[in-house]
Structure 1
């Protein structure tokens, strides 16, 4: 039976204590890169409230906007020059806390409020009334009185509709085993009644979910603490637990507590590929599926979900960072899973950090935020140390499972021998032996290499020429599975040339270094009988593909898994007992202030995939720097010592979380123009105690998508907010149209 309803209640609703505006002017914020709301006139008889979503004229266009507030009489524009509001959309108004959140995000990140608002109005089709389908009910008409002969086909239709709800024609015809013509004839004769039917949201959650699995003493204590906080207003709690310690089940108890109060819940995940197993666990725990929101959702799904959220009909939403901006009328809990993950930082558009803004949204709404990680960010740990956040600790794996043993393979001594007929090898003999033993025992192994494609560099054997992207200062990556060279920054693609463009040598190009595709080739040569699969962002695209892949691993249809970082997070594979990290040094170089922390987090997460059930796990790290503090911390299991050293190094260097940073990025196709603006900014740079400006300097990616790039970095003491300094600084410099200036407050990447 289709999940539909007939004659739904209208959306139109005036919230209690709403601020109503009638027969006057209002200010409407438009989802465009505009710095303020515009004045519009309300036509006679039209009534709106703050937050009403309206359609207004802008030049020759009609655009959607939100009534931000009323404009006092005698505003900036004379009344007779104001254009009128065209219509009010029949959807709930954007809640007051949502409007405050838009203003807060815009002020913090120096973005136009309209640009932030666009993220809240991200499903334009959801503003229009749903399109009904025609359904059929048993009517009041008596077939015999109407002179209609009841054939067997007609009797079957009436039997299906005897006591049931309305059915669409296709469904009714299928269940009754008749043609659409039979149904139309009954309706035309007055025996059936035509009704409008609307798709129901389908996001119901039981008022009281069943009990979950038995919790350990530490898990139960953490769950009680979080559940109590749901009743107590705003707080931030970090769940700091080792991989496999049951963190999800613990915060599910807080979800249950929020649902008991009738509040909405938001769970943020950093990768859509993580959602498959999470959704399975949620359905098993609560008996129904939550609403899902991410970039892979269809327009129809986005439309239905946005409307359901706005009406309060989606009790639980799980999604990527953009789900934070949906119009929740009564959000009561937000959970940020894998809170350390860099995917929560948006780089394009408004460069916000979803973890930090989730905390802001919770504070504005007066409800708790829960941050979850096995490898918490230094920022969150510092907030715990300073008393700004609470924390609960889960030091042991669930159900007695043991943490894996971790060992380092010194690649200077344990060198991979070449493979006959395949050339260079990248797997050390000791790791080869361990993989063979694991497969012989009927268990699964994972080889991890955080590098997509076949090889990161292609060069000419004759002259050493390296193939570079024509649009970026980046090497082209060979992807042999699709027979192309690709730039991972701008998307440029080309075939490997037959001859070197520098020296003309024929067939002289060689792949240098391993990517996961090259590792896959080596593994197939070493273990020809093994069932090998590759999991990377360009081979497993979207949640559905990820779910199928994960299911095949769980069903033991795969013996040996090769993956990039998307396999490192959140997945539970009971028969996976060996993890081999092919290049543990990858990510440690480059001067990024978070390089060591990120590498530790990633390797700790991938190591946590091993031995999550009753079988003990083993992790082997191939490295040329076995004495590096990151490698030593992983081998010894002394996370806290590593983080203490990392924090002290940051403190001495005056870097976050002990100082504040803001980046200015200039770009233009015209190198002279971008340099001229950079020099002007340098002359106007703010000065004072606790304030330092670094640059301008060419960005590490000095050319990106054909644009020349320069960077400047503003650093202030922790007690000095950079936003006022930035506003005053930028007001002093005129930036021509050919130059783009981007501001990134709290930058995470420095490319």
Structure 2
């Protein structure tokens, strides 16, 4: 419980005993503006106090945001149920929650739900207990029982498993001895989560790195909003530089948040943090178990120097004293969340840093065009790292025109890349093949009638996964066995997989290089964090000759023996007409190519393409980053697209095609007409049927200076849709699927 006096140790505002009605922002989406309700409290409370309140039949977490306004009939109000024993949430964080809601057009309660995701996390951690021997060992006892007492009597409490291991017996025997009264329970000596040491494991930086680190350290020490773009070529030591900013926050007793794309949250990342600061970081991502999430949540809210490494959702944790935010790989598309509250973690991190007056560092070898323009216009301070660390140099990039030198029939690796692989393997070096396509084949079709196997829940084809013998939808997860006959023409034995995925590429590699060891890295094959760690160790130790992977291999891995990278289909990301297709392709290919040549020998990247004349590939070969950025800027500026204009998307969906059509026509009829505002649609989304719902989309385009949120509020505020229709608003959409 909080202090009944209402006096906050941080000195935040409180109210006296006469004020017993408080306004609470609830951590749940509510269908009215503000998302706040009034409750009675029998004790004074501080602004920002976390409370548990009733809402219908449910218990909901909330945050006290002030006193009730106007005349309040206390007889109609429900009481606050509980005050979890956690520190108050700073008013700046509450203001940031409201700003995120205003920007995304989500309810404030939905945003607060991301900060307080579970009532369980608000509870104290359970007191862990262990066992000790209840009496000294006795020579008359059975040998195994005596061994248990010899290791446990007079010792610190231990878990049943630890006692069993030390005594050389089964855990079941220890449990039976406890039942018989020969052991007793005592609290374990819980020393808590160890704290990081900012002086542990620091590396000697080169002059360029040291200068960048000095700028970051001074900004963190200054305790004011300072946004940086740490812009360094692949392998330039960006991580070591931003670790110095993290260390400065820790020296000041504050917390540091390092955001990473979910796919980059590998054991290698955790190991790098541990090597630098002496202890593992606190993790926060979707794969973390509830027990670990509870422990880490409590450690974060209770304060003290901590390093938190997490995916985009970690940004919304209620940090006690956040000193710096790092957004590594800031260009990565996975920082965009596309369901519930639709937001971009990079942009919301900058907003949080400004609100809480802290340093924020965007980090990338291939910055987003938005960050490039922000640095160019002085909104971010650019810190450049132009040289690879140590003696390493950037790889040479070569194109293979598959229109002129195509792969053999039934193969996917063209002769020039095969030759390069042979030479690299003969020299005892490693090869990486990159294909950003999971599974065995993207399409399965009937050779007789041409029918393709599609998902019953989505307008998408099923992907063949030969390792499991199943076809699977990568959008909804639907799976089925490989069909023996065509569902359209009933032909038997005519269903064939078409096109390559990483599994099929692995088959070709085995056929061409039977003596070479290989590892396939994709989310379907690595077997979780432990499996990935094992494979990475094998690669680093030279036990793998050929690495085959999806985008998993592009993110932050360091393979000293890797000197050749082959990109099997460099054109793959350019299809589909996406606004950012060229930018994302550029970024991905630079990152993939950058895995080569990080040791003493210069690497080579070979890119297979049917369109070698595209600007993206020509600039890659020439190493002309400035030329590519200039090309993209002109294209975006001339079309009024971000970052020179603004976009928003409205996505309507319903199980009924008629339902979504009716909703789309209703919105179209009520669409406003403003100068400088263009509303496109409705039109079926590219994936027009997804997870059992039909989908239609509007695109809103405005000039940069237009308040696009205000336009949407005025347009959509009066609209009342059928209960079966969902409406998702996306400010600054990054894809249009």
TM-score range, shorter chain: over 0.9
| Cα deviation digits, residues 493-521 of structure 1 (max 9, x gap) | 11222221222211112222111111111
Change (3 A) 1:314 1:460: farther
Q: Residue 649 of structure 1: which of 635, 641, 657 is its match?
A: 635
Aligned position for 2:234: 243
Aligned position for 1:502: 488
| Cα deviation digits, residues 141-169 of structure 1 (max 9, x gap) | xx99xxx999999999699776x765567
What aligned pairs does 1:121-200 form with structure 2 within 5 A after superposition?
121-134=116-129, 167=158, 171=162, 195-197=186-188, 199-200=190-191
Q: Are residues 1:395 and 2:386 paired?
A: yes
Q: Are residues 1:704 and 2:690 paired?
A: yes
For 2:157 and 2:447, locate their aligned partners in 1 and report how far apart those are by CA, in whole Å. 72
Aligned position for 2:721: 735
Aligned position for 1:669: 655
Q: Aligned to 2:280, what secondary structure does the other structure show?
A: coil
Q: Are residues 1:382 and 2:380 paired?
A: no
Aligned position for 2:358: 367
Change (3 A) 1:460 1:184: closer
Aligned position for 2:249: 258
For 2:7 and 2:201, locate their aligned partners in 1 and report how far apart those are by CA, in whole Å. 36
Deviating more after overlay: 326-335 vs 194-203: 194-203
Aligned position for 1:27: 23
Q: Are residues 1:354 and 2:345 paired?
A: yes
Q: Aligned to 2:500, what secondary structure does the other structure show?
A: coil
Please tell me whether the aligned partners of residues 382 and 657 of structure 1 are also in contact (alpha carbons under 8 angstroms): yes
- In the alignment of these two chains, the number of paired residues is 723
Please tell me whether the aligned partners of residues 203 and 314 of structure 1 are also in contact (alpha carbons under 8 angstroms): no
Q: Residue 335 of structure 1: which of 321, 326, 343 is its match?
A: 326
What aligned pairs does 1:547-558 form with structure 2 within 5 A after superposition?
547-558=533-544
Aligned position for 2:53: 56
How far did residue 322 of structure 1 move? 0.5
Aligned position for 2:200: 210
For 2:450 and 2:157, locate their aligned partners in 1 and report how far apart those are by CA, in whole Å. 73
| Cα deviation digits, residues 432-471 of structure 1 (max 9, x gap) | 1111111111111001001111111111111111111122
For 1:588 and 1:193, locate their aligned partners in 2 and report how far apart those are by CA, in whole Å. 66
For 2:300 and 2:468, locate their aligned partners in 1 and report how far apart those are by CA, in whole Å. 40
| Cα deviation digits, residues 323-370 of structure 1 (max 9, x gap) | 001110100000000000001001111111011111111111101100
Consecutive unaligned residues of structure 2, counting only runs of 5 or more, are none
TM-score, normalised to structure 1, is 0.91
How far did residue 256 of structure 1 move? 1.0
How far did residue 175 of structure 1 move? 5.5
For 1:156 and 1:455, locate their aligned partners in 2 and report how far apart those are by CA, in whole Å. 57
TM-score, normalised to structure 2, is 0.93
What aligned pairs does 1:516-527 form with structure 2 within 5 A after superposition?
516-527=502-513
For 1:529 and 1:740, locate their aligned partners in 2 and report how far apart those are by CA, in whole Å. 54
| Cα deviation digits, residues 186-232 of structure 1 (max 9, x gap) | 999xxx997544744414112x4136222211111111111111122
Aligned position for 2:103: 108
For 1:173 and 1:504, locate their aligned partners in 2 and report how far apart those are by CA, in whole Å. 61
Aligned position for 1:6: none
Q: Residue 67 of structure 1: which of 54, 64, 80 is its match?
A: 64
Deviating more after overlay: 235-244 vs 311-320: 311-320
Change (3 A) 1:212 1:503: same
How far did residue 706 of structure 1 move? 1.9
For 1:694 and 1:350, locate their aligned partners in 2 and report how far apart those are by CA, in whole Å. 23
How far did residue 487 of structure 1 move? 1.3
For 1:392 and 1:637, locate their aligned partners in 2 and report how far apart those are by CA, in whole Å. 20
Aligned position for 1:315: 306
Aligned position for 2:423: 437
Aligned position for 1:88: 83
Q: Are residues 1:407 and 2:403 paired?
A: no
Q: Residue 16 of structure 1: which of 6, 10, 27 is its match?
A: 10
For 1:100 and 1:296, locate their aligned partners in 2 and report how far apart those are by CA, in whole Å. 30
Q: Residue 219 of structure 1: which of 209, 217, 226 is its match?
A: 209
Q: Aligned to 1:47, what secondary structure does the other structure show?
A: coil
Q: Are residues 1:283 and 2:274 paired?
A: yes
Please tell me whether the aligned partners of residues 485 and 496 of structure 1 are also in contact (alpha carbons under 8 angstroms): yes
Q: Residue 606 of structure 2: which of 620, 645, 654 is its match?
A: 620
Deviating more after overlay: 327-336 vs 26-35: 26-35
Change (3 A) 1:510 1:400: same
For 1:679 and 1:303, locate their aligned partners in 2 and report how far apart those are by CA, in whole Å. 46
For 2:185 and 2:556, locate their aligned partners in 1 and report how far apart those are by CA, in whole Å. 49
Consecutive unaligned residues of structure 1, counting only runs of 5 or more, are 1-8, 419-423
For 2:521 and 2:179, locate their aligned partners in 1 and report how far apart those are by CA, in whole Å. 55
RMSD: 2.8
For 1:268 and 1:494, locate their aligned partners in 2 and report how far apart those are by CA, in whole Å. 36
Please tell me whether the aligned partners of residues 267 and 337 of structure 1 are also in contact (alpha carbons under 8 angstroms): yes
For 1:679 and 1:61, locate their aligned partners in 2 and report how far apart those are by CA, in whole Å. 37
For 1:268 and 1:488, locate their aligned partners in 2 and report how far apart those are by CA, in whole Å. 25
Q: Aligned to 2:9, what secondary structure does the other structure show?
A: coil
Q: Aligned to 1:506, what secondary structure does the other structure show?
A: coil
Q: Are residues 1:270 and 2:261 paired?
A: yes
Change (3 A) 1:626 1:311: same
Q: Aligned to 2:588, what secondary structure does the other structure show?
A: helix
Q: Aligned to 1:62, what secondary structure does the other structure show?
A: strand
Change (3 A) 1:626 1:80: same
Please tell me whether the aligned partners of residues 554 and 573 of structure 1 are also in contact (alpha carbons under 8 angstroms): yes
Aligned position for 1:294: 285
Change (3 A) 1:41 1:596: closer
How far did residue 37 of structure 1 move? 3.9
